[in-house]
Amino acid sequence: MGTAGLAQAEAFLEMLSAERGAALNTLDAYRRDLEDAAGFLATRKTTLLSAESDDIRALIEDLADRGFAPSSQSRRLSALRQFYRFLHTEGMRGDDPTGIIDSPRKARSLPKILSVEEVSRLLEQAEADIANAETDFEKRQKIRFRALLELLYATGMRVSELVGLPERVLADGGRFLVVRGKGNKERMVPLSGPAKAAVAEWIKARNAARLDGDDEPEWLFPASSDSGHLSRQVFARDLKSLAGRAGIPTRLVSPHVLRHAFASHLLANGADLRAVQELLGHADISTTQIYTHVLDERLRQLVTEHHPLAKNAINRDEARNHTVARGK
C-alpha cells in the first residue's frame, strides 16, 4: 500500500478492532481490499488518500472487468465507504468520494438448505460413527463431532462462533448458550434436549481423557492449534466427510448450509422472523429476510388450508376435474 494511504489505512483497521471488535478474518479482508484498491489507484497516478469519485467508479468497473461478482464488488465498495467515512470523521478528508457511487446491482440468491430428513440422516450417521469407533481416541473424536453437529443445528451459530465457544459458555444449568458474535455482541440461545445431552457426553468423554495436572480447558472444544480450539476448517472437512457417508452430496453440505437449515426449519414451523433474527445474531432484519421464501410458502399453505373460500375453490376444482375425467 502506498505511503500516502498506509498510515490512514492502519489507523482505520485499528479503529475497527478497538471500537467495533472486528475479528482477525474481517481485518485481513479489509486490509486486502484496501491494498488492492491502492494498487489500482496507483495506475491512475493517485492514492487512497487523494482519490476522487471518478477513480472509485473506475475501480469498481475494473473489478467487474476482472470477473468479480456484483456481491464482491459491493463488498469492496462497502469497505471503501467505511474507510472514507473514517477519514472524514477524523478530519483527514473534507469529502467522501464514495458518497455518490451506487452499489452494483446484485440478485439475492436463495440460501441453500437441507431438508429435515437430510439433517436427520446426518445426525443418525454421526450416532452410527460413535458406535462403530474402533479405539477410545476415535470414539472421543466422534463424540466431539456429534456434539458440534447437534449444537450447530440446534442454535444456528456461525461456525466461527461454534468452534470458539469458551469452556464456561453454558448458562442457566445448561439450558442456554451465551454466544459472542460479530461486533463482540452477546446473545442467549436456548439449547434443545439432544444438543444438551450431546454436549454433556462430550464434556464427560473429554474430561475422562485428561491427565492429572492438566490445566482446566479454556475452550469447550480444545485442540492443539494456534487458537487453542478446534478450527472451523477441520469441522467443515469432517462435516463433508460425514455427508458422504450419509449418502448426501458433499457439495450441498457446509456449516453455513446447516445455519440456513436451522433458520428455514424454524420459520417453516411457525417461528417469528424477529425471533429468528435474534437467534442468528443478525443486526438488521433485512439480512434475515432472505428466508421470506419459506414464510411465503407457509402463508400460502395457511390460506389454502384454512380460508373457507379457498377450500371451497379447491373442492370445486376437484369436482370439475372428476367430471371431466368421467366424460372422457
Q: Which active-site residues does the annotation give?
A: 158, 182, 256, 259, 282, 291
**How far apart, in whole angstroms, are the C-alpha atoms of residue 268 and residue 276?**
11
> Locate cell 472451523: which residue?
232
Residue 224 DSSP SS3? coil
**How far apart, in whole angstroms, are the C-alpha atoms of residue 148 and residue 166?**
13
- Measured between alpha carbons, how far is residue 136 from residues 63, 103, 202, 207, 225 in Å? 52, 54, 13, 13, 22
DSSP calls for 142-178: HHHHHHHHHHHHHH---HHHHHT-BTT-EETTTTEEE
The arrangement of strands across the sheet holding 176-180 comes to 170-171, 176-180, 186-190
The torsion defined by the Cα of 287, 291, 293 and 299, in degrees rounded to 10, comes to -110
DSSP 111: P
- Residue 286's H or E segment, with its range, is helix 285-288
DSSP 229: B
Q: Crossing angle, helix 116-132 and helix 136-155, to 10 degrees?
A: 160
Q: What are phi and psi of 171, to 5 degrees?
A: -120, 155
Instruction: Give, in degrees to the nearest 5, the angle at Cα 55 between 28 and 9.
Output: 30
**How far apart, in whole angstroms, are the C-alpha atoms of residue 111 and residue 128?**
29
**How far apart, in whole angstroms, are the C-alpha atoms of residue 288 and residue 294?**
11
85 close to 106: Cβ distance less than 8 angstroms? no
